[in-house]
Structure 1
Amino acid sequence: MNNTAAQSSAVIVPKPKSSLLKRVVRNRYIYLMILPGFLYFLIFKYVPMFGLIISFQDYQPYKGIMGSEWVGLEHFQRLFTDSEFWNIFKNTLVVFLVNIVFYFPVPIVLSLMLNEVTNSYFKRVVQTIVYVPHFLSWVIVVSISFVLLTMDGGLINELITFFGGQPVNFLMSEEWFNPIYVLQVIWREAGWGTIVYLAAMAAIDPGLYEAARMDGAGRFRQIWHITLPSIRSVVIVLLILKVGSVLDTSFEHIYLLLNSMNKNVAEILDTFVYTAGLKQGQFSFSTAVGLFKSVIGLILVLFSNWLAKKFGEEGIY
Protein backbone atom coordinates (compact mmCIF):
# COMPACT_ATOMS: atom_id res chain seq x y z
CA MET A 1 0.00 0.00 0.00
CA ASN A 2 2.78 2.36 1.00
CA ASN A 3 4.78 1.39 -2.08
CA THR A 4 1.79 2.16 -4.28
CA ALA A 5 1.27 5.56 -2.67
CA ALA A 6 4.94 6.34 -2.96
CA GLN A 7 4.92 5.44 -6.65
CA SER A 8 1.81 7.52 -7.34
CA SER A 9 3.20 10.53 -5.49
CA ALA A 10 6.60 10.30 -7.15
CA VAL A 11 7.39 13.15 -9.50
CA ILE A 12 8.61 12.08 -12.92
CA VAL A 13 11.60 14.24 -13.76
CA PRO A 14 12.10 14.55 -17.54
CA LYS A 15 15.55 13.97 -18.91
CA PRO A 16 17.36 17.25 -19.50
CA LYS A 17 17.44 18.24 -23.13
CA SER A 18 20.77 18.56 -24.80
CA SER A 19 22.03 22.10 -25.07
CA LEU A 20 22.03 24.03 -28.32
CA LEU A 21 25.82 23.76 -28.50
CA LYS A 22 25.68 19.97 -28.20
CA ARG A 23 23.09 19.76 -30.96
CA VAL A 24 25.24 21.95 -33.21
CA VAL A 25 28.31 19.80 -32.52
CA ARG A 26 26.35 16.61 -33.14
CA ASN A 27 25.01 17.93 -36.48
CA ARG A 28 28.14 19.90 -37.39
CA TYR A 29 28.50 18.39 -40.86
CA ILE A 30 24.95 19.35 -41.79
CA TYR A 31 25.56 22.91 -40.62
CA LEU A 32 28.82 23.01 -42.57
CA MET A 33 26.89 22.05 -45.71
CA ILE A 34 24.42 24.88 -45.04
CA LEU A 35 27.14 27.45 -44.24
CA PRO A 36 28.16 28.46 -47.83
CA GLY A 37 24.55 29.11 -48.85
CA PHE A 38 23.87 30.96 -45.60
CA LEU A 39 26.93 33.18 -46.06
CA TYR A 40 26.00 33.87 -49.69
CA PHE A 41 22.53 35.14 -48.80
CA LEU A 42 23.82 37.03 -45.76
CA ILE A 43 26.63 38.84 -47.58
CA PHE A 44 25.06 39.41 -51.00
CA LYS A 45 21.34 39.64 -50.17
CA TYR A 46 20.78 40.89 -46.62
CA VAL A 47 23.77 43.11 -45.86
CA PRO A 48 23.27 45.22 -49.06
CA MET A 49 19.69 45.95 -47.94
CA PHE A 50 21.20 48.63 -45.68
CA GLY A 51 21.93 50.54 -48.88
CA LEU A 52 18.21 50.96 -49.56
CA ILE A 53 18.40 53.98 -47.29
CA ILE A 54 19.79 56.05 -50.16
CA SER A 55 16.45 55.79 -52.01
CA PHE A 56 15.21 58.33 -49.42
CA GLN A 57 18.29 60.54 -49.74
CA ASP A 58 20.02 62.76 -52.25
CA TYR A 59 22.98 60.42 -52.13
CA GLN A 60 26.40 61.90 -52.78
CA PRO A 61 29.23 59.34 -52.91
CA TYR A 62 31.81 61.69 -51.36
CA LYS A 63 29.48 62.37 -48.38
CA GLY A 64 28.49 58.75 -47.89
CA ILE A 65 25.20 57.34 -46.63
CA MET A 66 25.40 59.00 -43.21
CA GLY A 67 26.26 62.43 -44.62
CA SER A 68 23.84 62.67 -47.54
CA GLU A 69 20.74 64.85 -47.35
CA TRP A 70 17.35 63.24 -46.67
CA VAL A 71 14.68 63.97 -49.28
CA GLY A 72 11.91 61.61 -48.14
CA LEU A 73 9.69 60.26 -50.92
CA GLU A 74 10.92 62.68 -53.57
CA HIS A 75 12.41 59.96 -55.79
CA PHE A 76 9.25 57.86 -55.57
CA GLN A 77 7.12 60.86 -56.54
CA ARG A 78 9.34 61.39 -59.56
CA LEU A 79 9.08 57.69 -60.34
CA PHE A 80 5.29 57.57 -60.38
CA THR A 81 4.86 60.82 -62.32
CA ASP A 82 7.38 60.00 -65.04
CA SER A 83 5.65 58.84 -68.26
CA GLU A 84 8.84 57.11 -69.41
CA PHE A 85 8.78 54.97 -66.26
CA TRP A 86 5.27 53.70 -66.95
CA ASN A 87 6.22 52.72 -70.49
CA ILE A 88 9.23 50.83 -69.10
CA PHE A 89 7.00 49.24 -66.46
CA LYS A 90 4.60 48.11 -69.20
CA ASN A 91 7.49 46.63 -71.21
CA THR A 92 8.64 44.69 -68.14
CA LEU A 93 5.16 43.25 -67.61
CA VAL A 94 4.90 42.27 -71.28
CA VAL A 95 8.24 40.44 -71.10
CA PHE A 96 7.06 38.64 -67.96
CA LEU A 97 3.73 37.63 -69.53
CA VAL A 98 5.54 36.37 -72.64
CA ASN A 99 7.69 34.23 -70.34
CA ILE A 100 4.71 32.83 -68.44
CA VAL A 101 2.50 32.13 -71.46
CA PHE A 102 5.05 30.82 -73.95
CA TYR A 103 8.07 29.59 -71.95
CA PHE A 104 6.71 28.26 -68.64
CA PRO A 105 4.66 25.37 -70.16
CA VAL A 106 7.50 24.23 -72.44
CA PRO A 107 9.63 22.44 -69.78
CA ILE A 108 6.49 20.68 -68.53
CA VAL A 109 5.58 19.41 -72.01
CA LEU A 110 9.20 18.46 -72.71
CA SER A 111 9.37 16.56 -69.40
CA LEU A 112 6.20 14.65 -70.23
CA MET A 113 7.66 13.69 -73.62
CA LEU A 114 10.97 12.56 -72.10
CA ASN A 115 9.15 10.62 -69.40
CA GLU A 116 7.40 8.57 -72.08
CA VAL A 117 10.68 7.48 -73.73
CA THR A 118 11.35 3.86 -72.83
CA ASN A 119 14.81 3.53 -74.40
CA SER A 120 17.10 4.71 -71.58
CA TYR A 121 20.11 5.31 -73.87
CA PHE A 122 18.12 7.48 -76.27
CA LYS A 123 16.54 9.31 -73.34
CA ARG A 124 19.94 10.18 -71.82
CA VAL A 125 21.25 11.41 -75.17
CA VAL A 126 18.23 13.67 -75.69
CA GLN A 127 18.45 15.00 -72.13
CA THR A 128 22.13 15.85 -72.62
CA ILE A 129 21.40 17.65 -75.88
CA VAL A 130 18.62 19.80 -74.39
CA TYR A 131 20.69 20.57 -71.26
CA VAL A 132 23.74 21.87 -73.15
CA PRO A 133 22.36 25.32 -74.21
CA HIS A 134 21.89 26.27 -70.55
CA PHE A 135 25.67 26.36 -70.12
CA LEU A 136 26.09 28.90 -72.92
CA SER A 137 26.18 32.54 -71.85
CA TRP A 138 23.60 34.98 -73.17
CA VAL A 139 26.39 36.67 -75.13
CA ILE A 140 26.87 33.48 -77.15
CA VAL A 141 23.13 32.90 -77.57
CA VAL A 142 22.51 36.45 -78.80
CA SER A 143 25.57 36.26 -81.05
CA ILE A 144 24.21 33.09 -82.68
CA SER A 145 20.88 34.84 -83.23
CA PHE A 146 22.70 37.82 -84.72
CA VAL A 147 24.48 35.59 -87.23
CA LEU A 148 21.18 33.96 -88.20
CA LEU A 149 19.00 37.09 -88.32
CA THR A 150 21.20 39.95 -89.49
CA MET A 151 20.37 41.56 -92.83
CA ASP A 152 24.02 41.48 -93.82
CA GLY A 153 24.36 37.85 -94.87
CA GLY A 154 22.15 36.33 -92.17
CA LEU A 155 21.02 32.77 -92.90
CA ILE A 156 17.31 33.47 -92.33
CA ASN A 157 17.28 36.54 -94.59
CA GLU A 158 19.29 34.69 -97.22
CA LEU A 159 16.59 32.00 -97.28
CA ILE A 160 13.85 34.63 -97.47
CA THR A 161 15.46 36.33 -100.46
CA PHE A 162 16.19 32.94 -102.08
CA PHE A 163 12.45 32.20 -102.10
CA GLY A 164 11.60 35.62 -103.50
CA GLY A 165 10.82 37.56 -100.33
CA GLN A 166 12.15 40.83 -98.95
CA PRO A 167 14.75 40.82 -96.15
CA VAL A 168 13.37 41.52 -92.68
CA ASN A 169 15.26 43.63 -90.16
CA PHE A 170 14.55 41.30 -87.23
CA LEU A 171 17.09 42.76 -84.83
CA MET A 172 15.93 46.37 -85.21
CA SER A 173 12.19 45.68 -85.32
CA GLU A 174 9.88 46.39 -82.38
CA GLU A 175 7.45 43.72 -83.59
CA TRP A 176 10.09 40.99 -83.58
CA PHE A 177 11.69 41.80 -80.22
CA ASN A 178 9.42 39.68 -78.00
CA PRO A 179 9.29 36.65 -80.36
CA ILE A 180 13.10 36.62 -80.64
CA TYR A 181 13.45 37.03 -76.88
CA VAL A 182 11.12 34.17 -75.95
CA LEU A 183 12.55 31.81 -78.59
CA GLN A 184 16.03 32.39 -77.17
CA VAL A 185 14.78 31.72 -73.62
CA ILE A 186 13.05 28.51 -74.71
CA TRP A 187 16.10 27.24 -76.60
CA ARG A 188 18.49 27.96 -73.72
CA GLU A 189 16.40 27.16 -70.64
CA ALA A 190 13.69 24.62 -71.55
CA GLY A 191 15.95 21.58 -71.22
CA TRP A 192 17.38 22.72 -67.91
CA GLY A 193 13.86 23.38 -66.61
CA THR A 194 12.91 19.74 -67.09
CA ILE A 195 15.19 18.54 -64.26
CA VAL A 196 12.76 19.34 -61.45
CA TYR A 197 9.74 17.94 -63.30
CA LEU A 198 11.51 14.71 -64.26
CA ALA A 199 12.58 14.24 -60.64
CA ALA A 200 8.96 14.69 -59.54
CA MET A 201 7.76 12.20 -62.16
CA ALA A 202 10.34 9.63 -61.05
CA ALA A 203 8.73 9.64 -57.59
CA ILE A 204 5.30 8.62 -58.92
CA ASP A 205 4.25 5.11 -57.87
CA PRO A 206 4.47 2.79 -60.95
CA GLY A 207 1.52 0.85 -59.54
CA LEU A 208 -0.76 3.74 -60.45
CA TYR A 209 0.14 3.35 -64.12
CA GLU A 210 -0.31 -0.43 -63.96
CA ALA A 211 -3.76 -0.03 -62.42
CA ALA A 212 -4.69 2.52 -65.06
CA ARG A 213 -3.55 0.21 -67.87
CA MET A 214 -5.63 -2.61 -66.41
CA ASP A 215 -8.63 -0.27 -66.51
CA GLY A 216 -7.97 0.40 -70.20
CA ALA A 217 -6.40 3.86 -69.92
CA GLY A 218 -4.11 4.84 -72.78
CA ARG A 219 -0.94 6.90 -72.50
CA PHE A 220 -2.71 10.25 -72.78
CA ARG A 221 -5.24 9.25 -70.12
CA GLN A 222 -2.40 8.18 -67.82
CA ILE A 223 -0.64 11.50 -68.35
CA TRP A 224 -3.81 13.50 -67.72
CA HIS A 225 -5.08 11.58 -64.69
CA ILE A 226 -1.84 10.41 -63.03
CA THR A 227 1.29 12.30 -64.15
CA LEU A 228 -0.06 15.85 -64.23
CA PRO A 229 -1.93 15.63 -60.88
CA SER A 230 1.18 14.10 -59.28
CA ILE A 231 3.43 16.99 -60.30
CA ARG A 232 0.81 19.70 -59.76
CA SER A 233 2.30 20.83 -56.44
CA VAL A 234 5.74 21.23 -58.06
CA VAL A 235 4.23 23.26 -60.90
CA ILE A 236 2.43 25.52 -58.40
CA VAL A 237 5.59 26.16 -56.36
CA LEU A 238 7.65 27.00 -59.46
CA LEU A 239 4.85 29.24 -60.75
CA ILE A 240 4.74 31.13 -57.44
CA LEU A 241 8.51 31.65 -57.57
CA LYS A 242 8.20 32.78 -61.19
CA VAL A 243 5.49 35.29 -60.29
CA GLY A 244 7.78 36.67 -57.59
CA SER A 245 10.31 37.60 -60.26
CA VAL A 246 7.73 39.45 -62.36
CA LEU A 247 9.85 42.63 -62.45
CA ASP A 248 13.20 40.86 -62.24
CA THR A 249 13.97 39.74 -65.77
CA SER A 250 17.33 38.76 -67.22
CA PHE A 251 19.25 42.04 -67.46
CA GLU A 252 22.13 40.64 -69.51
CA HIS A 253 19.82 39.04 -72.08
CA ILE A 254 17.63 42.11 -72.60
CA TYR A 255 20.58 44.48 -72.61
CA LEU A 256 22.24 42.54 -75.43
CA LEU A 257 19.05 42.70 -77.51
CA LEU A 258 18.44 46.38 -76.78
CA ASN A 259 19.22 48.99 -79.43
CA SER A 260 18.07 52.46 -80.41
CA MET A 261 15.43 51.13 -82.83
CA ASN A 262 13.61 48.74 -80.47
CA LYS A 263 14.16 50.71 -77.25
CA ASN A 264 10.49 51.69 -77.05
CA VAL A 265 9.51 48.05 -76.36
CA ALA A 266 12.81 46.58 -75.13
CA GLU A 267 13.71 48.99 -72.31
CA ILE A 268 12.80 47.32 -69.00
CA LEU A 269 13.31 48.22 -65.33
CA ASP A 270 16.64 46.39 -65.07
CA THR A 271 18.19 48.18 -68.03
CA PHE A 272 16.66 51.46 -66.84
CA VAL A 273 18.30 51.03 -63.41
CA TYR A 274 21.63 50.33 -65.10
CA THR A 275 21.35 53.40 -67.31
CA ALA A 276 20.11 55.77 -64.60
CA GLY A 277 22.30 54.42 -61.82
CA LEU A 278 25.66 53.60 -63.39
CA LYS A 279 25.72 55.62 -66.60
CA GLN A 280 24.00 58.78 -65.35
CA GLY A 281 25.02 58.58 -61.67
CA GLN A 282 21.44 58.82 -60.32
CA PHE A 283 22.13 56.41 -57.47
CA SER A 284 19.21 57.36 -55.24
CA PHE A 285 16.65 57.31 -58.04
CA SER A 286 17.81 53.94 -59.39
CA THR A 287 17.75 52.51 -55.85
CA ALA A 288 14.16 53.71 -55.50
CA VAL A 289 13.30 51.81 -58.68
CA GLY A 290 14.98 48.69 -57.30
CA LEU A 291 13.08 49.00 -54.00
CA PHE A 292 9.81 49.36 -55.92
CA LYS A 293 10.61 46.17 -57.83
CA SER A 294 11.35 44.24 -54.65
CA VAL A 295 8.16 45.35 -52.89
CA ILE A 296 6.00 44.40 -55.89
CA GLY A 297 7.71 41.00 -56.10
CA LEU A 298 7.18 40.34 -52.38
CA ILE A 299 3.50 41.26 -52.58
CA LEU A 300 2.96 38.98 -55.59
CA VAL A 301 4.71 36.04 -53.90
CA LEU A 302 2.58 36.43 -50.77
CA PHE A 303 -0.60 36.77 -52.81
CA SER A 304 0.22 33.80 -55.06
CA ASN A 305 1.06 31.64 -52.06
CA TRP A 306 -2.21 32.64 -50.34
CA LEU A 307 -4.15 31.89 -53.53
CA ALA A 308 -2.49 28.48 -53.87
CA LYS A 309 -3.47 27.57 -50.32
CA LYS A 310 -7.02 28.72 -50.99
CA PHE A 311 -7.22 26.09 -53.75
CA GLY A 312 -5.84 23.36 -51.49
CA GLU A 313 -2.17 23.44 -52.51
CA GLU A 314 0.75 23.59 -50.07
CA GLY A 315 2.44 26.69 -51.45
CA ILE A 316 6.03 27.54 -50.59
CA TYR A 317 5.54 28.03 -46.83
Structure 2
Amino acid sequence: MSLAYTATDSAAPFQLRPVTPSVGAEVSGIDLTESLDEKAVAALRAALIEHGVLFFRDQPVTPDHQVAFARRFGHVPKVPDSMFLVHEANPHVSVLLNDADRPPTVNNWHSDYSFAPLPDFASVLRSVVVPDCGGDTVWAGMFAAWDGLPDRMQQHLDGLTATHDFMKLYERPVKKRLWEGERGRLMEAARREFPPVSHPVVRPHPESGRKALFVNESFTRHIDGMSEQESRHLLAFLFEHCKAPEFQVRFRWSPDCVAMWDNRSVIHYAVADFHPARRLMHRVTVLERLREG
Protein backbone atom coordinates (compact mmCIF):
# COMPACT_ATOMS: atom_id res chain seq x y z
CA MET A 1 0.00 0.00 0.00
CA SER A 2 1.20 3.50 -0.73
CA LEU A 3 0.89 4.62 2.89
CA ALA A 4 3.27 1.98 4.24
CA TYR A 5 6.53 3.20 5.76
CA THR A 6 9.72 1.27 6.39
CA ALA A 7 12.78 1.98 8.48
CA THR A 8 14.54 3.33 5.37
CA ASP A 9 11.93 5.97 4.53
CA SER A 10 13.52 9.31 5.40
CA ALA A 11 10.08 10.91 5.78
CA ALA A 12 8.69 8.20 8.06
CA PRO A 13 7.38 9.48 11.42
CA PHE A 14 8.68 6.30 13.09
CA GLN A 15 10.89 3.28 12.46
CA LEU A 16 9.38 -0.10 11.60
CA ARG A 17 11.15 -3.44 11.92
CA PRO A 18 9.34 -6.62 10.82
CA VAL A 19 9.67 -9.40 13.41
CA THR A 20 8.78 -12.32 11.12
CA PRO A 21 8.07 -12.54 7.38
CA SER A 22 4.44 -13.50 8.08
CA VAL A 23 3.24 -11.31 10.94
CA GLY A 24 4.36 -8.68 13.43
CA ALA A 25 6.51 -5.55 13.42
CA GLU A 26 8.17 -3.46 16.13
CA VAL A 27 7.65 0.29 16.04
CA SER A 28 10.17 2.72 17.52
CA GLY A 29 10.72 6.45 17.45
CA ILE A 30 7.18 7.32 18.49
CA ASP A 31 5.64 8.42 21.81
CA LEU A 32 2.08 7.19 22.40
CA THR A 33 1.59 9.66 25.25
CA GLU A 34 1.64 12.48 22.68
CA SER A 35 -1.03 13.41 20.17
CA LEU A 36 -0.10 11.95 16.80
CA ASP A 37 -0.54 13.88 13.58
CA GLU A 38 -2.56 12.53 10.67
CA LYS A 39 0.54 11.39 8.80
CA ALA A 40 1.68 9.22 11.70
CA VAL A 41 -1.81 7.74 12.19
CA ALA A 42 -2.12 6.91 8.48
CA ALA A 43 1.32 5.30 8.48
CA LEU A 44 0.56 3.23 11.58
CA ARG A 45 -2.73 2.09 10.09
CA ALA A 46 -0.98 1.01 6.89
CA ALA A 47 1.66 -0.83 8.92
CA LEU A 48 -1.04 -2.54 10.99
CA ILE A 49 -2.84 -3.74 7.85
CA GLU A 50 0.40 -5.04 6.37
CA HIS A 51 1.87 -6.73 9.46
CA GLY A 52 -1.21 -7.65 11.50
CA VAL A 53 0.26 -6.72 14.89
CA LEU A 54 2.47 -3.82 15.97
CA PHE A 55 4.64 -3.75 19.10
CA PHE A 56 5.63 -0.59 20.96
CA ARG A 57 8.13 -0.79 23.84
CA ASP A 58 8.73 1.68 26.70
CA GLN A 59 5.35 3.40 26.46
CA PRO A 60 4.25 4.51 29.98
CA VAL A 61 0.75 5.41 28.84
CA THR A 62 -2.15 6.09 31.19
CA PRO A 63 -5.61 4.64 30.51
CA ASP A 64 -6.61 8.02 29.05
CA HIS A 65 -3.57 8.01 26.74
CA GLN A 66 -4.42 4.49 25.62
CA VAL A 67 -8.02 5.41 24.80
CA ALA A 68 -7.00 8.62 23.02
CA PHE A 69 -4.53 6.66 20.86
CA ALA A 70 -7.12 3.99 20.03
CA ARG A 71 -9.70 6.63 19.04
CA ARG A 72 -7.46 7.81 16.22
CA PHE A 73 -8.31 4.53 14.45
CA GLY A 74 -12.05 4.15 15.05
CA HIS A 75 -14.86 3.99 17.58
CA VAL A 76 -13.87 2.94 21.12
CA PRO A 77 -16.81 1.36 22.98
CA LYS A 78 -17.25 1.10 26.72
CA VAL A 79 -16.19 -2.20 28.27
CA PRO A 80 -18.99 -4.77 28.76
CA ASP A 81 -18.88 -5.44 32.50
CA SER A 82 -20.26 -8.94 32.03
CA MET A 83 -17.11 -10.54 30.59
CA PHE A 84 -14.42 -8.16 31.84
CA LEU A 85 -13.37 -6.00 34.76
CA VAL A 86 -13.72 -2.30 33.98
CA HIS A 87 -10.99 0.20 34.86
CA GLU A 88 -12.28 2.45 37.64
CA ALA A 89 -10.81 5.59 36.04
CA ASN A 90 -11.88 4.98 32.44
CA PRO A 91 -14.88 2.85 31.39
CA HIS A 92 -13.35 2.22 27.95
CA VAL A 93 -10.46 0.20 29.41
CA SER A 94 -10.82 -3.44 30.42
CA VAL A 95 -8.63 -4.81 33.19
CA LEU A 96 -7.19 -8.27 32.55
CA LEU A 97 -5.91 -9.51 35.90
CA ASN A 98 -4.49 -12.91 36.78
CA ASP A 99 -2.85 -13.95 40.03
CA ALA A 100 -2.90 -16.78 42.56
CA ASP A 101 -6.68 -16.39 43.06
CA ARG A 102 -7.50 -15.70 39.40
CA PRO A 103 -5.80 -18.24 37.14
CA PRO A 104 -5.74 -17.49 33.39
CA THR A 105 -8.67 -18.94 31.44
CA VAL A 106 -8.25 -17.54 27.92
CA ASN A 107 -5.45 -19.79 26.71
CA ASN A 108 -7.35 -20.47 23.49
CA TRP A 109 -6.72 -19.20 19.97
CA HIS A 110 -9.28 -16.52 19.16
CA SER A 111 -10.12 -13.33 17.36
CA ASP A 112 -11.73 -10.76 19.66
CA TYR A 113 -15.50 -10.63 19.28
CA SER A 114 -15.70 -12.84 16.19
CA PHE A 115 -19.06 -13.89 17.68
CA ALA A 116 -20.50 -10.41 17.03
CA PRO A 117 -22.25 -9.35 13.80
CA LEU A 118 -19.56 -6.66 13.62
CA PRO A 119 -16.35 -8.22 14.99
CA ASP A 120 -13.72 -6.00 16.58
CA PHE A 121 -11.40 -4.17 14.19
CA ALA A 122 -8.40 -3.73 16.50
CA SER A 123 -7.29 -4.36 20.05
CA VAL A 124 -4.77 -2.22 21.93
CA LEU A 125 -3.18 -4.04 24.89
CA ARG A 126 -0.78 -2.52 27.42
CA SER A 127 1.30 -4.44 29.95
CA VAL A 128 1.18 -3.02 33.49
CA VAL A 129 2.54 -5.88 35.61
CA VAL A 130 4.16 -8.93 34.00
CA PRO A 131 5.55 -12.16 35.48
CA ASP A 132 9.30 -12.59 35.81
CA CYS A 133 8.90 -15.60 33.54
CA GLY A 134 6.12 -16.59 31.14
CA GLY A 135 2.93 -14.80 30.19
CA ASP A 136 3.82 -14.27 26.52
CA THR A 137 1.22 -13.67 23.82
CA VAL A 138 1.35 -15.39 20.43
CA TRP A 139 -0.30 -14.15 17.25
CA ALA A 140 -0.90 -16.10 14.04
CA GLY A 141 -1.24 -14.31 10.71
CA MET A 142 -4.35 -15.43 8.87
CA PHE A 143 -3.18 -13.98 5.55
CA ALA A 144 -0.23 -16.37 5.72
CA ALA A 145 -2.48 -19.20 6.91
CA TRP A 146 -4.67 -18.72 3.82
CA ASP A 147 -1.70 -18.44 1.49
CA GLY A 148 -0.27 -21.63 3.00
CA LEU A 149 -3.26 -23.78 2.03
CA PRO A 150 -3.16 -25.97 -1.10
CA ASP A 151 -5.06 -24.60 -4.09
CA ARG A 152 -7.73 -27.32 -3.87
CA MET A 153 -8.41 -26.52 -0.22
CA GLN A 154 -8.63 -22.80 -1.01
CA GLN A 155 -11.18 -23.55 -3.71
CA HIS A 156 -13.14 -25.73 -1.29
CA LEU A 157 -13.24 -23.05 1.42
CA ASP A 158 -13.90 -19.96 -0.69
CA GLY A 159 -17.60 -19.13 -0.44
CA LEU A 160 -18.27 -21.14 2.74
CA THR A 161 -19.62 -19.54 5.91
CA ALA A 162 -19.24 -20.62 9.53
CA THR A 163 -21.26 -19.98 12.68
CA HIS A 164 -19.46 -18.14 15.49
CA ASP A 165 -20.96 -18.54 18.94
CA PHE A 166 -20.28 -16.58 22.15
CA MET A 167 -21.23 -19.64 24.17
CA LYS A 168 -18.63 -21.95 22.65
CA LEU A 169 -16.03 -20.35 24.92
CA TYR A 170 -18.17 -19.07 27.78
CA GLU A 171 -19.99 -22.36 28.41
CA ARG A 172 -16.70 -24.07 29.26
CA PRO A 173 -16.12 -25.14 32.89
CA VAL A 174 -13.15 -22.76 33.28
CA LYS A 175 -15.60 -19.86 32.83
CA LYS A 176 -17.95 -21.10 35.57
CA ARG A 177 -17.17 -18.26 37.99
CA LEU A 178 -18.39 -15.70 35.43
CA TRP A 179 -21.89 -17.18 35.73
CA GLU A 180 -22.08 -16.92 39.50
CA GLY A 181 -23.93 -14.25 41.50
CA GLU A 182 -24.63 -10.81 40.04
CA ARG A 183 -22.12 -11.33 37.24
CA GLY A 184 -24.19 -14.30 36.08
CA ARG A 185 -27.09 -11.95 35.34
CA LEU A 186 -24.78 -9.79 33.24
CA MET A 187 -23.45 -12.83 31.40
CA GLU A 188 -26.97 -13.98 30.59
CA ALA A 189 -27.68 -10.54 29.13
CA ALA A 190 -24.51 -10.85 27.01
CA ARG A 191 -25.63 -14.28 25.81
CA ARG A 192 -28.92 -12.79 24.62
CA GLU A 193 -27.12 -9.82 23.03
CA PHE A 194 -24.85 -12.08 20.99
CA PRO A 195 -26.78 -14.99 19.46
CA PRO A 196 -24.84 -17.20 17.02
CA VAL A 197 -23.85 -15.39 13.81
CA SER A 198 -22.36 -16.49 10.48
CA HIS A 199 -19.22 -15.07 8.87
CA PRO A 200 -17.34 -16.08 5.71
CA VAL A 201 -14.65 -18.68 6.32
CA VAL A 202 -12.45 -16.66 3.97
CA ARG A 203 -12.78 -12.89 4.36
CA PRO A 204 -11.19 -10.36 2.04
CA HIS A 205 -9.65 -7.67 4.23
CA PRO A 206 -11.95 -4.62 4.02
CA GLU A 207 -9.03 -2.24 3.45
CA SER A 208 -6.42 -4.23 1.52
CA GLY A 209 -8.65 -6.81 -0.16
CA ARG A 210 -6.17 -9.55 0.75
CA LYS A 211 -7.82 -12.85 1.69
CA ALA A 212 -7.56 -14.20 5.24
CA LEU A 213 -8.97 -17.21 7.03
CA PHE A 214 -11.58 -16.18 9.58
CA VAL A 215 -12.04 -19.11 11.94
CA ASN A 216 -10.85 -19.64 15.51
CA GLU A 217 -11.16 -22.47 18.01
CA SER A 218 -12.73 -20.32 20.75
CA PHE A 219 -15.82 -19.13 18.88
CA THR A 220 -16.23 -20.91 15.51
CA ARG A 221 -18.90 -23.55 16.22
CA HIS A 222 -19.46 -25.22 12.83
CA ILE A 223 -19.28 -24.81 9.06
CA ASP A 224 -22.71 -23.89 7.75
CA GLY A 225 -24.44 -26.43 5.51
CA MET A 226 -22.17 -29.33 6.46
CA SER A 227 -22.91 -32.40 8.51
CA GLU A 228 -21.65 -32.30 12.09
CA GLN A 229 -18.93 -34.82 11.32
CA GLU A 230 -17.73 -33.09 8.14
CA SER A 231 -17.70 -29.70 9.86
CA ARG A 232 -15.83 -31.05 12.88
CA HIS A 233 -13.11 -32.61 10.74
CA LEU A 234 -12.69 -29.55 8.53
CA LEU A 235 -12.51 -27.15 11.47
CA ALA A 236 -10.05 -29.40 13.28
CA PHE A 237 -7.82 -29.31 10.19
CA LEU A 238 -8.06 -25.50 9.92
CA PHE A 239 -7.45 -24.90 13.63
CA GLU A 240 -4.34 -27.08 13.50
CA HIS A 241 -3.16 -25.51 10.24
CA CYS A 242 -3.32 -21.99 11.72
CA LYS A 243 -0.98 -23.01 14.56
CA ALA A 244 2.00 -23.58 12.25
CA PRO A 245 5.08 -21.75 13.63
CA GLU A 246 5.67 -20.24 10.17
CA PHE A 247 2.52 -18.14 10.63
CA GLN A 248 3.30 -17.00 14.19
CA VAL A 249 5.01 -14.29 16.18
CA ARG A 250 5.58 -14.58 19.94
CA PHE A 251 5.98 -11.49 22.11
CA ARG A 252 7.75 -11.39 25.47
CA TRP A 253 6.13 -8.66 27.53
CA SER A 254 7.93 -6.22 29.78
CA PRO A 255 6.24 -3.37 31.68
CA ASP A 256 4.88 -0.51 29.55
CA CYS A 257 4.71 -2.39 26.27
CA VAL A 258 1.77 -1.85 23.91
CA ALA A 259 0.59 -4.28 21.25
CA MET A 260 -2.00 -3.31 18.66
CA TRP A 261 -3.44 -5.97 16.37
CA ASP A 262 -5.94 -6.28 13.55
CA ASN A 263 -8.57 -8.89 14.48
CA ARG A 264 -9.58 -9.10 10.84
CA SER A 265 -6.27 -10.73 9.91
CA VAL A 266 -4.75 -12.33 13.02
CA ILE A 267 -5.76 -14.63 15.86
CA HIS A 268 -3.97 -14.68 19.20
CA TYR A 269 -3.24 -16.86 22.22
CA ALA A 270 -2.33 -15.71 25.75
CA VAL A 271 0.09 -18.33 27.06
CA ALA A 272 -1.13 -19.54 30.47
CA ASP A 273 2.19 -20.69 31.90
CA PHE A 274 2.72 -18.17 34.70
CA HIS A 275 0.21 -19.06 37.44
CA PRO A 276 0.31 -18.15 40.36
CA ALA A 277 2.34 -15.07 39.35
CA ARG A 278 0.57 -11.74 38.87
CA ARG A 279 -0.12 -10.43 35.37
CA LEU A 280 -2.03 -7.17 34.86
CA MET A 281 -2.94 -5.84 31.41
CA HIS A 282 -5.14 -2.99 30.14
CA ARG A 283 -7.03 -3.46 26.88
CA VAL A 284 -8.97 -1.10 24.64
CA THR A 285 -11.14 -2.18 21.71
CA VAL A 286 -11.46 -0.34 18.40
CA LEU A 287 -14.47 -0.82 16.10
CA GLU A 288 -14.72 0.12 12.44
CA ARG A 289 -18.08 1.66 13.30
CA LEU A 290 -20.58 1.66 16.15
CA ARG A 291 -22.27 -1.70 16.63
CA GLU A 292 -25.99 -1.71 16.00
CA GLY A 293 -28.30 -2.22 18.96
Superposition TM-score tier, normalisation by shorter sequence: under 0.3
What TM-score do you get using the length of structure 2 for normalisation?
0.23
Looking at secondary structure, tell me which structure has more helix per residue.
1
Specify which structure has the bigger relative contact order, considering alpha-carbon pairs within 8 angstroms and separated by 6 or more residues.
Answer: 2
- Which one has the bigger strand percentage? 2
